[in-house]
Structure 1
Amino acid sequence: MSADALDLLDPILVHHIVNSLGWRSLRPLQQEAMEPVLAGQDAVLLAPTAGGKTEAAVLPLLTRAQRQGWKGTSILYVTPLKALLNNLHPRLETYTGWVGRTAELWHGDVTATRRRRILAQRPDLLLTTPESLEAMLVSVNVDHRAFFSGLHSVIVDEVHAFAGDDRGWHLLAVLERLQKVVGRPVQRIGLSATVGNPRQLLDWLQGSGRGRRPGRVVAPGVTLPEPDSGDPSVSLPEGRPVTPPPGDVELDYVGSVANAATVIAALHRGEKRLVFCESRRTVEELGEQLRLRGVTTFLSHASLSADERRRAEAAFAEARDCVIVSTSTLELGIDVGDLDRVIQIDAPPTVASFLQRLGRTGRRPGTTRNCLFLALDDAGLLSAASLLLAWSRGWVEPVVPPPDPRHLVAQQILALCLQERRVGENLWQEWWGGLNPFGTAAEPVVRHLVEQGYLERDGGTLFIGPEAERRFGQRHFMDLTASFTAPPEFTVLSGRTEIGRTDPDLLTEEVEGPRKLLLAGRSWLVTYIDWRRRRCFVEPTDEGGRAKWSGFGPERVRSRALTRAARDVLLGSDPPVALTRRAMARLAMAREAHLDVVHPGGTLIIRDGDGDVRWWTWAGHRANATLAASLSPVTIPHRRVDDRFIALRDDLTPQAWRAALADARAGLTLPEVDIRAVRGLKFAEALPERLAEATLAARLADEAGARAVLAEDVRFVVRP
């Protein structure tokens, strides 16, 4: 035990750390985080899953609360998932109880009675989500100024999960408004597993306080890039010899969900296994196949009811010799007990996601982290191999906030007017402290909101207008507090028990014979559909059910780094992990099939015998979308963008290519936007159409990747 670090903590906490927890030492992160957290600095604390991040933030904050006599709700603990809050609450309730303080939950599933008790007796630590936090700010039932008057610190768990999408902008904006309500700087502490750009993540988390408040990245054992290096990611130079990171990782090819179930049922018997899938449909199909093979199986994904997920996770945590099959819902820090194995079907979307999943194993002394990849097809095998190759090189994606969140600017201005009832038309920017993009760049959005009746202007103030009432006023403006849109689904019930939700397409498409659904790993016979209330009543049946969720969220696209890693695999680079004979044979077949479209010296333009012309850039989806728009005279309009190539006109001539290339090098063009995608952008209706399209276009682009490709050599090939 480090006496120096322990001496900094409250003596009562030290007593319980030694005697109640039985810890013989603090972990490296907990020791190194002590000084900056106690000093009130902003911080990002980095450690693998189960690295003690929660204690590294909470224990020194409880020490500050004791020494400085904090009163009321002084610490907020924010996570992206209600399930994670529920999982953390008993632990944090224990820690706060040691020093005579309290911890409470506040999210959408908390009852009205419990909320009234929380408002009457403010807890010292409140666990919540950004959406619930904003709901408190706009609610007529919450005196937010009084409730948050004692706030000093905010902990943002899984901060990387926020920063990479619009929920991050929403969180930052809400924190700025909350800080304005409190009337003093609020310490911000982010907790994360490994990310590629931790210094930039800290800058992002600090918001308007960047450069005005001290901040520190705490990451024991991680070599960080220099602050002004200009390199946003942690990576090793291309071609440098590497040693595989620690962990027992294997890649296999199985060819189908049924074969994956056979492998999982046969391997690692007597162990507790967590299987990650990349879609809810695969979770359901694999769960059913495992149960047919006699494996004790539990399921977890977002379309299962909360009760169904809790029952599965609780039963799995207590059981042995079983499998839980999940989407990314169990990727974050929810505790499902002591795991023996992690199995990945195909490949996760990012290296960072893989690191989260790998970190679920190897927690017991004497065990190692492990992951078995099972590829269902050739595309899944190549994706897994390329991700593992990038991982072996020490590369992790930088977490980059999506640019130009104008739709969330509109949402935040409306939410602020709900919160304050009236806001000075020249004072609204002060609520975000100069945070981009909520400053002067937001003025066109405010003008549009007034012109379209979302806001009214009177006596120098802005307030909610009739159009906002019509669009968002249902259920006390609840729809205004969520920064993303969930697709419409039907609730599935067996008697009075909610099983989960299903896609309406499964209930409307023509079928022969009885209509059957696959949900919670079991088949159900549809007995009645209540179309008005969007409910579907079922009863258990034999196998034969189908699972489907279409959704309309952002399409998953591969980055330039992972697409280039795939090219490296096809050129002969094997990831330094265990490859089964099946995986090696299928990789050899993939290399043979792609022999003509990869070249180590640059990119290829290939005209085949049918006259099709493709530029094989291997640049990733966003770079290719940018290139296709910038080279419009020689590309095929409205053609779907591929990660690997760009379709060119069949009448392409060398002269036309050189001219288009020169124009693109002189200035890139943002990708064109499908109007259907604009409709899927929440709050886009509160923006001028041109700004909504510009927002999406900026998010579809990768200008740096496009410029890198334009600088490479190009070879022209004609196939017979």
Structure 2
Amino acid sequence: MNHSSSYALLAEPIQKALWKLGWESLRPIQEQAIGFIQNSQNDLIISARTASGKTEAAFLPVLSVICQNPASSVQAIYVGPLKALINDQFRRLEELCEYARIPVHRWHGDVSASKKQKFVSNPRGVLLITPESIESLFVNRSSALNSLFHSLSFVVIDEIHALQGTERGTHLRSLLFRVDQCAINPPRIVGLSATIGDEKLSAEWVRPNATERVDLIKDDQSKKSIQYGIFAYQSSKDDEEQDSQSSHELSQDLYNSFSKGKNLIFANTRPDVEWYTDELNHLAAQEGRPDQFLIHHGALSRDIREHTEKMMQGKIPFSTVCSATLELGIDIGNVRAVGQIGCPWSVNSLVQRLGRSGREEDQPQIMRIFLPEDLFSFTQHLSGQLYPPLVQAIALTELMLESWVEPCESNSGDLSTLVQQILSVIAETGGLQAAELFKKLIVSGAFRHIDQTLFVDILRQIGQEDLIEQTKQGELILGLKGEKIVRSYEFYSAFATPPEFRVVYQGQAIGMLPTTYLPSENQHFLLAGKRWQVVGIDYDRREIGVVPARGRKRPKWDSLGPNVHQKVRQKMRQVLAENKQIGYLNSSASQLLEQARTTFSNADLIHRDLFALSLTKTLWFTWTGTRIHQTILAMLERHKIKLLDYGVAIELDLSFNQTIDLLHQLVRTKQEPRVLAKMVDPKFRRKYDEYLSEQLLEWSIAEDVIDINGAQSVMVELLKQFN
């Protein structure tokens, strides 16, 4: 191996392990990380593309520290968002740790009780674990926590971009602060991510109130060549023959693009994953190649998901149609190309999905986006004639090429996860004073923005709901309902999962369907990429019995996309306003863009964002992010304005001049976040929101949904167009 100054910093057993494993050199990101971790006591965020060696960049120096300072507890935790990801990393670390004689353990739902007990009896080395399994340790192994973590030195958090600004991220952050309280010295955090949108916000998530203690290194050496295209398919609702033809054309193009080699095809919804898996396998069967396309999404049984992962890791090349479940870095080997059906949700998601291809140094990253014909069906409405899905796909692509990704969103209004953590701490301790609880979760925990008055209000509210109760000595203990919640396996996760029915064929679980969209008896539907007919529904056991069938129908699941960032909407406006040719569009997409630009120009939307539809109706193109757009809707709702929301635009039942007058009024008037929060629905957005009062939910919405400054700023800029 080529020696370097960073290599010299590694402990001798780690150097020997690298030599035995045949490493020839360290990558630049690994060189940097070794220096940062060995020569500093700061936390660190490592940002680099998929397959760039981030995990080793973190663990080579971490394992070196462990080698040189062995202790009788876990010394490093790796937190992964998925069990499959933990299993992958276990395989990668096991060999390295074996040479260095460092024990490495997994802890998740599939690890046997005997292995877990053996680990608890003699905790050492590295522990790989999910956030939900850390929660399980606090609830079920509270007496072992100090012996497990007293000498913990490092916590490595993978895929931090997928955690920031989510209930799961808040949950994990709270759990890690509680782990800190079990350790002699708070462990250092090493965050791994392929994308960092806002360095300061990411540092704040890693170490609240001490961002100066967080270093960041980026792998800027990893620019790869990209082969990229956006393909749009046109049809008219008035022409069923053309509609069918263009649908077949999309499926055929998908098949031609991804029937060779190992590929991933992402779809935004589970119904689309199911539909296109069936379509593609039907085309493959016509060529005598059955089951060429595999399937992967969160509602499938574990056996089916693991079968897909195993087949993708094998030597026979398969392609998998999947949801975001394969967006994160589960190791399925080298993927030739990536497909995307429908407009991607965000730049972040686009970067992640593109990064799944071309893992080898000399290979390009290949991605094709397919926009189905129903996105461009004939529409009389002006906003629809701008073809937002196509323009958004272009805007996301342009921002990706500019190396911009979304910063993490604020999640400071997440009272649901605070309720969950209150129950968890009480379950861990058996009972404690409110002041101790406040210190543990608020003063020294992840909820530092919650003041004492609000905290007391939450305790009183969940006391009324029988989640907790107070003894005569003033200790908080679990109420009857609280005990029932904590005993449930679902308690370990902070995010909500909708009630579901299990789909079963000959005793074998295939997957789950939501109770809101159950098929009726004898009805056909798709699941796991196969066609089924319902033969019976057992409502007591929540099971649907099925047999294979020839007919098919799309299953249904609720699907809400994440918020669109303001910069994406502004880039969409820019794409429409300019004449720049886009080289990665197919001819149909180019024609649609040209039509959209002509409509945009003819309506004079280049110079103004308000358009008079008639003497009594006005269309307002807000060109802003979801949060500000929702705030504007709340303001209009409060003034009882009749409207239609088109996402990029709002149609108002007001004349043009009345709209201008209203905007002046909204800018001048002091707006109250809690008042506007009353206008926002739904109120229940998180797992434990049902136990919170209306006032607490309005506080939560005011924190996380309402952006008055942003909304008024958009209005001020709009009014400048008419001065």
**TM-score w.r.t. structure 2 length?**
0.88
For the pair 1:611 / 2:624, whether they are aligned, the reply is no
- The equivalent of 1:37 in structure 2 is 37
Cα pair distance change 1:142/1:326, threshold 3 Å: farther
- The equivalent of 1:523 in structure 2 is 531
State the 1:594 CA deviation: 4.1
Q: Is the 8 A contact 2:615 2:655 kept in 1?
A: no
Q: Is the 8 A contact 1:529 1:537 kept in 2?
A: yes
Cα pair distance change 1:365/1:620, threshold 3 Å: closer
Mapping for residues 377-392 of structure 1, pairs under 5 Å: 377-378=375-376, 379-392=388-401
- The equivalent of 2:181 in structure 1 is 180
Query: In the alignment, which of 634, 659, 667 is matched to residue 670 of structure 2?
Result: 667
Mapping for residues 67-106 of structure 1, pairs under 5 Å: 67-106=68-107
Cα pair distance change 1:519/1:123, threshold 3 Å: farther
SS class of match (2:545) = strand
In the aligned structure 1, how far is the partner of 2:477 from the partner of 2:401?
53
- The equivalent of 1:658 in structure 2 is 661
- The equivalent of 2:157 in structure 1 is 156
In the aligned structure 2, how far is the partner of 1:181 from the partner of 1:439?
25
Instruction: Tell me which amino acid in the other structure corresponds to 1:496.
Output: G
Q: Is the 8 A contact 2:525 2:554 kept in 1?
A: yes
State the 1:570 CA deviation: 2.0
Q: Is the 8 A contact 2:49 2:195 kept in 1?
A: yes
Query: In the alignment, which of 395, 401, 405 is matched to residue 410 of structure 2?
Result: 401
Give deviations 1:214-255, integer Å, cap 9, x for gaps: 3211113299xxxxxxxxxxxxxxxxxxxx985221111135
For the pair 1:221 / 2:217, whether they are aligned, the reply is no
Unpaired runs of at least 5, structure 2:
235-245, 377-387
Cα pair distance change 1:150/1:8, threshold 3 Å: same
When structure 1 is superposed on structure 2, of 518-527 and 627-636 the one drifting more is: 627-636
Query: In the alignment, which of 557, 562, 565 is matched to residue 556 of structure 1?
Result: 562
State the 1:446 CA deviation: 2.4
State the 1:614 CA deviation: 2.0
- The equivalent of 1:462 in structure 2 is 475
Cα pair distance change 1:59/1:140, threshold 3 Å: closer
SS class of match (1:133) = helix
Q: Is the 8 A contact 1:429 1:438 kept in 2?
A: no
Give deviations 1:240-284, integer Å, cap 9, x for gaps: xxxx98522111113565433201222365322111110111111
- The equivalent of 2:26 in structure 1 is 26
- The equivalent of 2:428 in structure 1 is 419
Mapping for residues 120-519 of structure 1, pairs under 5 Å: 120-139=121-140, 143-207=144-208, 210=211, 214-221=213-220, 246-255=225-234, 258-267=248-257, 269-294=259-284, 296-376=292-372, 377-378=375-376, 379-432=388-441, 433=444, 435=446, 436-438=448-450, 440=452, 441-458=454-471, 461-466=474-479, 469-470=480-481, 473-474=484-485, 476-508=487-519, 514-519=522-527
Q: Is the 8 A contact 1:634 1:649 kept in 2?
A: no
State the 1:40 CA deviation: 3.6
Q: Is the 8 A contact 2:414 2:700 kept in 1?
A: yes
Cα pair distance change 1:49/1:478, threshold 3 Å: same
In the aligned structure 1, how far is the partner of 2:586 from the partner of 2:577?
19
State the 1:474 CA deviation: 4.9
Instruction: Tell me which amino acid in the other structure corresponds to 1:28.
Output: P
Q: Is the 8 A contact 2:666 2:712 kept in 1?
A: no
In the aligned structure 1, how far is the partner of 2:595 from the partner of 2:566?
23
Cα pair distance change 1:597/1:116, threshold 3 Å: farther
- Count of residue correspondences: 684
State the 1:356 CA deviation: 1.0
In the aligned structure 1, how far is the partner of 2:581 from the partner of 2:512?
39
State the 1:327 CA deviation: 0.7
Q: Is the 8 A contact 2:224 2:364 kept in 1?
A: no
Mapping for residues 709-720 of structure 1, pairs under 5 Å: 709-714=714-719
When structure 1 is superposed on structure 2, of 45-54 and 104-113 the one drifting more is: 104-113
State the 1:602 CA deviation: 4.1
Q: Is the 8 A contact 2:608 2:721 kept in 1?
A: no
In the aligned structure 2, how far is the partner of 1:575 from the partner of 1:346?
22
Cα pair distance change 1:281/1:494, threshold 3 Å: same
Cα pair distance change 1:675/1:385, threshold 3 Å: closer
Query: In the alignment, which of 577, 581, 592 is matched to residue 586 of structure 1?
Result: 592
Give deviations 1:279-306, integer Å, cap 9, x for gaps: 1111111100110111610111001111
In the aligned structure 2, how far is the partner of 1:94 from the partner of 1:714?
64
Cα pair distance change 1:9/1:80, threshold 3 Å: same
In the aligned structure 2, how far is the partner of 1:171 from the partner of 1:265?
41
- The equivalent of 2:382 in structure 1 is none
State the 1:484 CA deviation: 1.1
State the 1:199 CA deviation: 3.0
- The equivalent of 1:532 in structure 2 is 540
Q: Is the 8 A contact 2:28 2:219 kept in 1?
A: yes
Cα pair distance change 1:257/1:459, threshold 3 Å: farther
In the aligned structure 1, how far is the partner of 2:177 from the partner of 2:450?
10
When structure 1 is superposed on structure 2, of 29-38 and 115-124 the one drifting more is: 115-124
SS class of match (2:552) = coil
State the 1:666 CA deviation: 4.6
For the pair 1:636 / 2:645, whether they are aligned, the reply is no
- % identical aligned pairs: 26
Q: Is the 8 A contact 2:616 2:656 kept in 1?
A: no
SS class of match (2:682) = helix
In the aligned structure 1, how far is the partner of 2:265 from the partner of 2:612?
42
Q: Is the 8 A contact 1:483 1:682 kept in 2?
A: yes
State the 1:430 CA deviation: 2.2
What RMSD in Å do the two structures reach over aligned CA positions? 2.7
Q: Is the 8 A contact 1:388 1:575 kept in 2?
A: no
- The equivalent of 1:233 in structure 2 is none
Cα pair distance change 1:623/1:498, threshold 3 Å: same
Q: Is the 8 A contact 2:280 2:293 kept in 1?
A: yes
For the pair 1:627 / 2:632, whether they are aligned, the reply is yes
Q: Is the 8 A contact 2:663 2:715 kept in 1?
A: no
Give deviations 1:566-587, integer Å, cap 9, x for gaps: 2222223557552221211122
Q: Is the 8 A contact 2:29 2:217 kept in 1?
A: yes
